[in-house]
Amino acid sequence: MKKRKFGLALSFVLAAGTILGACGSSDKEEGSSGEGKSKEDQFTVAMVTDVGGVDDKSFNQSAWEGLKAFGEENGLEKGKQGYDYLQSQSDADYATNLNTLARQDFDLVYGIGFLMEGAINDIAQQQKDSHFAIVDAVVEQPNVASITFKEQEGSFLAGVVAGLTTKTNKIGFIGGMEIPVIERFHSGFLAGVKAVNPDAEVISDYAGAFDKAELGQTIASKMYSQNADVVFHAAGGTGNGLFKEARDLKEKDPSREIWAIGVDSDQSAEGKVGDHNIVLTSSLKRVDNAVLDLSNKAKEGNFPGGEVISYGLNEDGVGLAELNTELSNKDEVMAKVDEWKEKIASGDIKVPESLDEAKSFSAE
């Protein structure tokens, strides 16, 4: 009888030790990372792409590069314990993807693009303990930070380049959808061209979509056939069609001076045609810088919930990529770009944000 009681007591001790050991091991494993930090010590971030996808060579890709930079600076790895993204195949995925990331306890979840405005607004009200940020739209919720850009300032500089480069005085602009963001691109571009070349004509057209490369190519083909020699797009993935059309024309006639201007990120890689490159420059929209900046603010406990943060030239939120080295008057053009950039940054001129403002714009 004594032996049986002793055996039971020993079993309980061993079992308790096993349970405690397992609990300690589990806590360590679940909370560990490459840096030896617990989940509570890490600030995790994630984003939901719009239909353009994370590798759109434009808007979404730039945002993802910003998240990756934040992860690398803070010793995070891709995944639920660090930084991650969910890709949307259609508009119907936005709310589901945002909700999924919020439920996975990411400290900050980004919705990339104005198309997610409604979804962010809905999910933010359902997940009130989560923090969200939206790019290119304004959502008035206390747990949402809204990121906007002064696109007109970067596209003004692109207009300066186009106006000083054209030989035909015919320039094209391809917009994605007729929304305020693209209107700012359009308005700034028109003003930049007008500032340096008032004799130039800008032919404009809108595709009505950001993911229709074939439509972008059709519009570009029409513009080039109308004797435009420089075409700028602010159309996301639709703009890939512009590059294809310009490459095809250059391949058929290598001596033809034909140019395309990219948007959001440096799109020069899309312009290679043999020994030539048809991308003149790109109007940069530094979504990566904005995402990195806001992530750091939130990590430091300064999440600007309910606020609108606007990034322009002075905040390194917009700019211009390097000019193509094939441009014969590259140095002269770059000097003019720097001159106008200083005027904008100092407030000497205000770049128009709407087409109505662009009509009455004067650089004098």
Instruction: Report if residue 249 sits inside a domain.
Output: yes
pLDDT tens digits, one per residue of 299-355 = 999 999 999 999 999 999 999 999 999 999 999 999 999 999 999 999 999 999 999
Distance CA 278, CA 244 (A): 10
For 200, the token pair is 């130039």
**Among 254, 201, 207, residue whose Cα is nearest residue 228:** 201
Q: By residue range, what is the domain housing residue 76?
A: 41-149+288-311
Instruction: Report if residue 10 sits inside a domain.
Output: no
In terms of domains, do 260 and 112 share one?
no
pLDDT band at 40 (very low <50, low <70, confident <90, very high): low
- Structure pTM? 0.83
In terms of domains, do 236 and 184 share one?
yes
Instruction: Report if residue 191 sits inside a domain.
Output: yes
Provide the CATH number for the domain around residue 228: 3.40.50.2300
In terms of domains, do 264 and 121 share one?
no
Q: How many domains does the chain have?
A: 2
Q: Give the amino acid at 109.
A: V
Lowest mean pLDDT among 49-63, 195-209, 316-330: 49-63
Instruction: Report if residue 102 sits inside a domain.
Output: yes
The larger pLDDT score, comparing residue 309 to residue 38, is at: 309
Contacts of 2 (CB under 8 A, 6+ apart): none
For 150, the token pair is 């002064």
pLDDT band at 31 (very low <50, low <70, confident <90, very high): very low
Q: Mean pLDDT, to the nearest integer, of 263-268?
A: 92
Q: Mean pLDDT, to the nearest integer, of 282-310?
A: 97
The per-residue pLDDT for 74 is 96
pLDDT band at 149 (very low <50, low <70, confident <90, very high): very high
pLDDT tens digits, one per residue of 247-258 = 999 999 999 999
